[in-house]
Amino acid sequence: MIKTLQTTLKQDKEQFKVPRSVQDTIPIRRLWPDGVFQFGSKYSKTLRFSDINYAIASKEDKTAMFLSYSELLNALDTGSTTKITINNKRLNRRNFEQEILIPAHGDFLDGGRAEYNAMLLDKVTDSSNSVVQERYITLSAHKKNIEEARTFFDRTVNDVTSRLNHMDSRCEELDAVERLRILHDFYRVGEETQFQLDLTDCMKRGRSFKDAVCPDSMEFKKDHFVMGNKYGRVLFLKEYASYIKDSMINELTSLNRSLMLSIDIIPVPTDEAVREMQNRLLGVETNVTNWQRRQNSNNNFSAVVPYDLEQQRKETREMLDDLTTRDQRMMFAVVTLVHLADSKEELDSDTETLQSIARKHLCQLTTLNWQQADGLVTALPLGLRRIDALRTLTTEALAVLMPFKAQEIWDRGGVYYGQNAISKNLIVADRRQLLNGNAFILGVSGSGKSFSAKKEMVSLALSTDDDIIIIDPESEYRPLVEGLGGQVINISATSPNHINAMDMEQGYGDGENPVVLKSEFLLSLCEQLIGAGKLSAKEKSIIDRCTAQVYREYIRGGYQGQAPTLQDFHAELLRQPEKEATDVALAIELFTEGSLNTFAKPTNVDTNARILCYDIRDLGKQLLPVGMLVVLDSIFNRIIRNRGLKRNTWIYIDEIYLLFQHEYSANFLFTLWKRMRKYQACGTGISQNIEDLLQSHTARTMLANSEFLIMLNQAATDREELARLLNISDNQLSYITNVDSGRGLIKCGSAIVPFVDHFPKNKLYRLMTTKPSDLAA
């Protein structure tokens, strides 16, 4: 026998003790607050790691993930054992309510909050997603004392964590209380919210931590066990197929029940493995030679070597080649699965389902007879292995038991965006936690773009005190804004509403000279009015001088009183002696003293509303470029003010391609997009065709610098552009190809997740919908 395996088996042998109480069925002898458990001379530590997008990845990406996972398995320490566990557990209702549900504020929006919370609870209590999956790696080793164990864990944990991070899987160490919570949630299904454990308090009172974790009763039968009012059964993988599909583990854990599937791994040093395989091959060759010698002695010189001997020789040679030339390692593994049910009949039915899934993959999943107690300890993420059903595998054969399925997005305090199309779990994201909070919502007309934006606005309006500002070119946000208590400002040449283009907040220049920034803005404005490239150097100097003179008294007065207007600027130009000043004044007269002077007067609308919508549908062609610049500058002023108040600002620009049609508004927006994160702001652009955006270099750069994207149903040409731009696989593209409204892909940081969202047709829905059929009804 291989020396490493022999040593491990010898060390793992424990003296059997009949448990005198339910607490005795939990084998932990001692624990430390940092999460190290001791069992005899064995110490263990558990890491929780997140899922990655394996199921919908392209063939090339799957291969890369498979190889990365193989590298992780190859890097496991030979002096230790590793357990990979997938835990299907019931959703903790109290945690969910604390993290996601919106508390009442005692204002007129509480009715909307109640509707929104009812929608979320309905999504969660649905039977298909009341179970959440967690994944753990438990490292265990026999050491003399805790110091040696901690030194070992420091080294191995860092290695495992870095390799998982390389696969885009986030990893965290679990402390003692978190590890005990896993046991509590398994032993006491339905009582997840009642877990309360203070280790310091337990030590003071002389109480055992096992009292807070163990079930009320535990009874082990021949082929199942009864735990409290639950029935459970431990199964193990007895027969392995020659070729196992990488989807088998996912199919086994897709059962909507509380269950744990564990893969115990004992790595073997390569030199010992090679020596073992050489000895085995020598034994097989000896058997073949002896068989041929017997045939020759019977004068049967043409006899063919029997199939079973030839197969043994072929498999042994293949494995030796794997070990010596393909960087494979020999590993011993055992797969155990424990599942729970409410009744014996349900337990038997679930067992049959699991066994049929295994049979579909040509494997045999068998019940452990008279070993249910040992099997339960083996299946839990403790670090113990009490089942002697080891199977010899190479790294690749073990990596096929792939524990990854679909990436989840769940940020505490985030916004609900829909359900994961694969796992049916809620997608809750917080854009503020990304590198930048900027976003784009892309999709063909009718795919649900504005509804997605409105849904995010509703969530923010109901759950936060953040400011929400909308640029609305189609007059479709008024019902929602007014329903949430916001204000809509209609801007046009004939509207009585005016926004002063020269409004300036204190701090406008971000600590620099604010007049410099405002001078740039006025240069852009004048050039927009006069024509691109038509301003001479002299005229630019005059505009800069007049800007400084117009603002001098206002800045001296500490930004108090009435800000200067474009009419004041026009008057200042006329006071200049140069002829060029008169030319500039004449060129902008239409927009200062003429019929299009809506931005040349003092602001007469309340731009301080928490939810503010600029309705620009009635801006004519002449006024639209100027209007875009002025509205963006007004929004910039608001962002600066909110930054001083430590308040977040969310900006939504519908049909954002309109801004990119005009050079100056595009450049201003581009600068604003880059600086938003610094000002605690998040920008969202909404557009139908990505081709419209990609025609502009500015828009392409903004799209590349946005960490959050919602992609709904796309036109064929747009899909190709997105696939190129974001490296989206064909499988992922199927989620934005000819799909219904409310379905698509969400890109959150590096994660790309398919989603589906069916919003109930309540009062909030009626405020948000723009479907003609809904509006007619």
What gap in Å lies between CA 338 and CA 260, rounded to an integer?
5
Is 387 within 8 Å of 235 (Cβ atoms)? no
- Domain, as residue range, for 594: 500-602
pLDDT at 265: 95
Q: How far from 278 is each of 283, 313, 398, CA to CA, in Å?
A: 9, 11, 21
Inside any domain, residue 713: yes
Give the distance from CA 36 to its chain's centroid: 29
Q: Is the pLDDT of residue 410 over 60?
A: yes
Region 506-515 average pLDDT:
65
pLDDT at 469: 94
Residue at which a domain ends, from 399, 423, 448? 399
Q: Is the pLDDT of residue 158 over 80?
A: yes
Q: Is the pLDDT of residue 129 over 70?
A: no
Whether 312 and 445 share a structural domain: no
Whether 464 and 342 share a structural domain: no
Inside any domain, residue 229: yes
pLDDT at 127: 46
Q: Which of 56-60, 62-66, 556-560, 647-651 has the lowest mean pLDDT?
A: 556-560
Q: How confident is the model at residue 773 (pLDDT cuts 50, 70, 90)?
A: low
pLDDT at 50: 92
Is 253 within 8 Å of 88 (Cβ atoms)? yes
Torsion region of 327: left, alpha or beta (phi above 0 gives left; psi -120 to 50 gives alpha): left
Q: Is the pLDDT of residue 577 over 90?
A: no
Residue at which a domain ends, from 282, 299, 326? 326
Inside any domain, residue 410: no
Q: Which of 661, 653, 654 is nearest to 695 (CA)?
A: 661
Whether 536 and 582 share a structural domain: yes
Region 669-678 average pLDDT:
84
Region 351-367 average pLDDT:
95
Q: Tens of pLDDT along 593-639?
A: 877 777 788 888 777 889 999 988 888 777 788 888 888 888 888 88
Residue at which a domain ends, from 285, 308, 326? 326
Whether 628 and 720 share a structural domain: yes
Is 764 within 8 Å of 116 (Cβ atoms)? yes
Residue in this structure with the two tokens 């054992």, named with its chain if needed: 81
The CATH number linked to 667 is 3.40.50.300
Inside any domain, residue 424: no
Whether 264 and 281 share a structural domain: no
Inside any domain, residue 18: no
Q: Kindly report the length of the chain.
A: 777
Q: Tens of pLDDT along 180-228?
A: 999 999 999 888 888 888 888 888 888 899 999 999 999 999 999 999 9
Q: How far from 174 is each of 40, 383, 625, CA to CA, in Å?
A: 21, 14, 56
Q: Tens of pLDDT along 514-548?
A: 777 777 778 877 877 777 667 788 888 888 888 88
| Amino acid letter, 162 | S
Whether 376 and 474 share a structural domain: no
Whether 457 and 526 share a structural domain: no
The CATH number linked to 83 is 3.40.462
Whether 621 and 679 share a structural domain: yes
Region 732-746 average pLDDT:
88
Pairing of strands 681-687, 439-442: parallel
Q: Is the pLDDT of residue 766 over 90?
A: no
Q: How confident is the model at residue 685 (pLDDT cuts 50, 70, 90)?
A: very high
Q: Tens of pLDDT along 413-454?
A: 889 999 988 888 889 999 988 888 899 999 888 888 889 999
Cα dihedral 395, 400, 403, 404, rounded to 10, equals 110
Largest CA distance in the chain: 125
Is 36 within 8 Å of 44 (Cβ atoms)? yes
Pairing of strands 81-90, 131-142: antiparallel
Q: Is the pLDDT of residue 130 over 80?
A: no
Inside any domain, residue 695: yes
What gap in Å lies between CA 237 and CA 731, rounded to an integer?
31
What domain count does the chain have? Answer: 4
Inside any domain, residue 106: no
Inside any domain, residue 52: yes
Q: Is the pLDDT of residue 99 over 90?
A: no
Pairing of strands 415-420, 426-429: antiparallel
Retrieve residue 708's tokens: 């959050």
Whether 304 and 349 share a structural domain: no
What gap in Å lies between CA 235 and CA 368, rounded to an integer?
6
Please report, rounded to a whole number, the percentage of residues in the chain having pLDDT higher than 70: 97
Whether 74 and 215 share a structural domain: yes
Whether 284 and 242 share a structural domain: no
Q: Tens of pLDDT along 328-347?
A: 899 999 999 999 999 999 99
pLDDT at 697: 81
pLDDT at 775: 60
Q: Which residue has the higher pLDDT, 453 or 704?
A: 453
Whether 292 and 167 share a structural domain: no
Is 116 within 8 Å of 458 (Cβ atoms)? yes
Mean pLDDT, the chain, as a whole number? 87
